[in-house]
Structure 1
Amino acid sequence: MGKTRVISKGYRHGTRDKYSKKYRTKGRPGIARYLVNFKRGDYVDIVADPSIQKGLPYSLYHGRTGIVFNVNLNALGVEITKIVGNRQLRKRIHVRIEHVRKSRCNEAFKKRVKENDRKKQQAKAEGKTISVKRQPEGPKEKKTVEANPDEVEVLAPLPFVENYF
């Protein structure tokens, strides 16, 4: 009789590399991880910390970005989109704070909003109306390429020579 192969079906199967910590980052998280303030509507990245087994999200959600919909004492409610077949489902999961960090995905958007508000305020003070909508780049300008006829080299195949004896 041959060996029977055991196929892992556990909660953490296939996470050897995903849940391993980098060099010199092993061990418990620092105190700064617990002192971050989260509010409803914040964008957060779910990055599972394998040194804390409580409140560990399922491995599929590792590396995903979601929006906080609930704040508890030790955990956050995060809403994530999950692709199932040909549709997107909005999943709501609760994850402990150790496994969550603030996302930087909308920093450029927030910066643009502040800049636009400043531009609008400045235009209002001057008595002008300003459009802060982003415009597409559009087609590039036309160019004319001039070629010197002496330098033009035509590449053509050599004629076929029959070598019959």
Structure 2
Amino acid sequence: MVKMSHGPRSGSRRKLTKSAEERKRSVIGRFMQEFEPGDRVAIDIEPSVHAGMPYHRFQGYTGVVEGPQGDCYKVAVKIDSLTKYVIASPVHLKKIKG
């Protein structure tokens, strides 16, 4: 038999926990972010928003926005020689200057 997976958020307690200071801050401004294709972004998962949340393995990775996909953005993330595509809501992305 195959072992049960226990869901997509299993094993992510440390990654998806906010401190008391972070819980006080509002995330409304991050909903309004807009990105252009070619922008560099960091994947920073906001645990209080479940819609458009990427898989927790990609927490902290950086990538390039390929373009919009519905209300979310398609982000190309390079892992070694592979390019993986993550679809994430703008609340889970932070723009990188440079």
Shorter-normalised TM-score: what interval? 0.7 to 0.9
State the TM-score, normalized to the length of structure 1: 0.52
**8 Å contact from structure 1 (residues 44, 103) kept in 2:** yes
Q: SS at the partner of 2:42?
A: strand
Q: 1:45 aligns with which of 42, 46, 50?
A: 42
Q: What is residue 22 of structure 1 aligned with on the other side?
A: 19
Query: Does the alignment pair 1:58 with 2:58?
Result: no
- What's the C-alpha RMSD, in Å, of the aligned pairs? 2.2
Q: CA deviation at 1:82?
A: 2.2
Over the matched positions of the two proteins, sequence identity in percent amounts to 30
Q: Which gives a bigger RCO, structure 1 or 2 (Cα 8 Å, sep 6+)?
A: 2
Structure with the higher fraction of residues in strand conformation: 2
| Deviation beyond 3 Å, 4+ runs, structure 1 | 6-9
Q: 1:101 aligns with which of 73, 94, 97?
A: 94
Q: Which has the larger radius of gyration?
A: 1
Give ranges in structure 2 of 5+ residues lacking alignment: none
Aligned residues: 96
